Amino acid sequence: MTDNENRPDTAQSHAAPLRVLLGKLGLDGHTRGIQSVAGVLRDGGMEVIYTGLRRNSAQVAEIALQEDVDVIGLSFMSGSHLELTEDLFAMMKERNIADIPVLVGGVIPRNDVQTLLDLGVRAVFPTDSTGEEILACFRKVAHRGVV
């Protein structure tokens, strides 16, 4: 038996991990939630790229383009989720990446959930969402399907 016969077919047994971009738009400086989500996604086998704090929509869209991500996740604690998410979608459209699914979590008033969905957000996670729910949704909406 040759060495190649002992190795599994990597094309079939190891798909590339989903690439997820997590971002904090605006002046929001709260990181606990997004750090927790990053850990859940990494533990679930995803490659996580974190933009850091206080990014603007153009920066996040450009990072998403450059990193060729499958999903964008945004975390908001500041109350500016509607305006900043709408602006991100405009920046994504300018860069021809409007097909990348966007998910939003954090302190989101119930009355704003439908507005976010109408903007094009694929899912909204309130602060009491479980890691399992978040991981399952990221997998579901990713362009390449389940990892």
Domain containing 106 equals 17-141
Does any domain span residue 147? no
Q: Which residue has the tokens 């499958």?
A: 70
pLDDT score at 7: 39
Does any domain span residue 126? yes
pTM value is 0.86
Does any domain span residue 38? yes
CB 104 within 8 A of CB 74: yes
pLDDT beyond 90 at 75: yes
Contacts of 122 (CB under 8 A, 6+ apart): 101, 102, 103, 137, 141
CB 101 within 8 A of CB 141: yes
What CATH number is given to the structural domain containing 121? Answer: 3.40.50.280
Q: State the amino acid at position 11 in one-letter form.
A: A
Does any domain span residue 52? yes
pLDDT score at 98: 97
Count the domains in the chain.
1
pLDDT beyond 90 at 90: yes
Does any domain span residue 1? no
